[in-house]
Structure 1
Amino acid sequence: MANDVTDKLAVLIDADNARPAIVDGLLAEVAKFGTAHVKRIYGDWTGPNLGGWKAVLLDHSIQPIQQFAYTSGKNATDSAMIIDAMDLLYSARFDGFCIVSSDSDFTRLASRIREAGLTVYGFGERKTPQPFVSACDKFIYTDRLVGTVESEPEEPKAKKTANELRGDTKLMNLLRNAIDAASDENGWAALSTVGGIVNKRSPDFDSRDYGYSRFSGLINAIGLFDTEDRQIGNGKHPFVRVKPKAR
């Protein structure tokens, strides 16, 4: 499913595996993908460890869901969140889900939602296990989210130089392969299509990790690709190709 700001989304937050400091940036990021029609957060609100979340829930209209820890060492919160997610899925009222957690227990949930044809956006810390990351259509690491309530916005990452970017073999292979997969007989590919392929092959890809707020900025900074704008319908659309080798 292509990103559409009119998509109806369900935002489900695992309070035990997310920090309240991310809430502003989280909701701003969610708004890029659609409208949060449901915002729920799960945890045992009788304990002191979730006190930081209590201060921000009302301001952001996030509904806390109480889940007692029935047995020591067992995470009842995960089970409650998964059950609610399946109920919302079966209601057929949503276009996608935002799962906020760094817990691998949600890997199968993400896969099941995608099997139903809905989009899954994952949000978690860098420690998030790769299976959960790969199970999502798009995964955003929460340290990228700025405009927090508990701290000043993070400084943007320093822009990597052209030489640094060219020396990143994984990045270059990802971009070249995506352009090749989307290109016409002349080697040109729509930048939006290339970006879509990159995200499908690497759900946690984000140009902000390289210091560029936009994918187009990253492409131009590398210096190995030609770009041009083409008039299609009423608007201009960027295209990209690998620069031909000099003869």
Structure 2
Amino acid sequence: MEKTEYKIALLIDSENVSPKYIKSVMNEIAKYGRIVIARFYGDINNLSKDWHRTAQDHAIKPVHQYNVAIGKNAADMAMALDAQEMMYQEKVNAFFLVTSDSDFTPLAVKLREGGMHVVGIGSLKTTTQAFKSACNEFRYFEYLNDDEDEEEVVPKNVEADKAEIDRTIKGIIIENGVDNRIQLSRLGDILVNRFSDFDPRKYGHKSLSSLASTIQGVMLNQEKTTTYVSLKPSMQKEEIMNEIVEIIQTNKSKEMMLTKIKQELEKRHPSFNYAELGFTRFSKLVSSIPHVLVSKNAAKLK
């Protein structure tokens, strides 16, 4: 399936965005389609020379607004009104809202209701979950940076986050694939639909294929122009069943809690997944073993 080539409106909240990110933002937009409208909003007199120079370099039109009312941001209001007017004019079918301001959450919702594809770009530290969820996709400035001189951003709890996304990807392959196999592009679409801010760069990878290739028990293969992601053939069911019996036998009473059995199996086989063997629950796998009886979350030899 061909990827949609969007006609894009780029709207930048310049008062809350550093000009140093604009080059990376433009590079990101190029992956989606063609910019039809590009504007930045703010009190032009208060913007730095860097901002003016950056806007000129990338042909981004300034929209000047004085903040004449206390507690009201005229630039924000102008940006929201312009966006809705553009939507009704039907010159574009996608919006890039470059801001970390949660006040633009209703605008993102309105644009999506109008059939627009909305991509937000903002700060990792200050963007609210509400604004991220209101967008079809969300990208962080910190992961777009192409400047090798800039310090690399290392997310907190990256190992835990990586383990979680690995489990999620395996689950998607099982639930949405055919014979535990799915197109890479389809996998990416599902991930973005579930998590608007999904980005392989959060996990230290430049692409989804690179991220997927690091997951234990997952493999990629190319068929003509299509890349597929699939689960590696698991151990034979009989072999796993025999190991479960061995684990139970190590207990003097020949009885063991299911959670303990599962933990022991995962120590031996970190990529173990009972779903790959055709079972919806671990208890059903254990119950299917001859000479093993499951009762009250425990298994014992008959």
User: Could you say whether these structures have the same fold, taking a TM-score greater than 0.5 normalized by the shorter chain as the test?
Assistant: yes
Contact 1:15–1:50 under 8 Å retained in 2: no
Bigger Rg over Cα? 2
Q: How does 1:74-223 map to 2 (within 5 A)?
A: 74-126=72-124, 127-147=126-146, 153-154=149-150, 168-184=162-178, 186-223=179-216
Whole-angstrom distance in 1 between the partners of 2:207 and 2:233? 24
Instruction: Please tell me the root mean square deviation across aligned C-alpha atoms, in Å.
Output: 2.2
Matched, 1:19 2:8: no
* TM-score, length of structure 1 as denominator length: 0.86
Alpha-carbon offset, residue 169 of structure 1? 4.1
Q: Any unmatched runs of 5+ in structure 1?
A: 159-163
Secondary structure of the equivalent of 1:58? helix
Contact 1:146–1:153 under 8 Å retained in 2: no
Whole-angstrom distance in 1 between the partners of 2:9 and 2:217? 40
Matched, 1:243 2:253: no
Q: Any unmatched runs of 5+ in structure 2?
A: 237-302
Q: After TM superposition, where is structure 1 displaced by more than 4 Å over at least 4 residues in a row?
A: 155-158, 164-167
Share of identical aligned residues, percent? 33
* TM-score, length of structure 2 as denominator length: 0.71
Contact 2:143–2:153 under 8 Å retained in 1: no
Change (3 A) 1:153 1:204: farther
Deviations 1:27-71 (A, max 9, x none): 011111111111000001122x44431121111110000111012
**Counterpart amino acid of residue 213 in structure 1:** K
Aligned length: 232
Alpha-carbon offset, residue 84 of structure 1? 0.3
Higher relative contact order (CA 8 A, sep 6+): 1
Change (3 A) 1:155 1:50: closer
Deviations 1:104-152 (A, max 9, x none): 111111111111222111100011001111111111101122246xxx6
Contact 1:165–1:171 under 8 Å retained in 2: no
Secondary structure of the equivalent of 2:165? helix
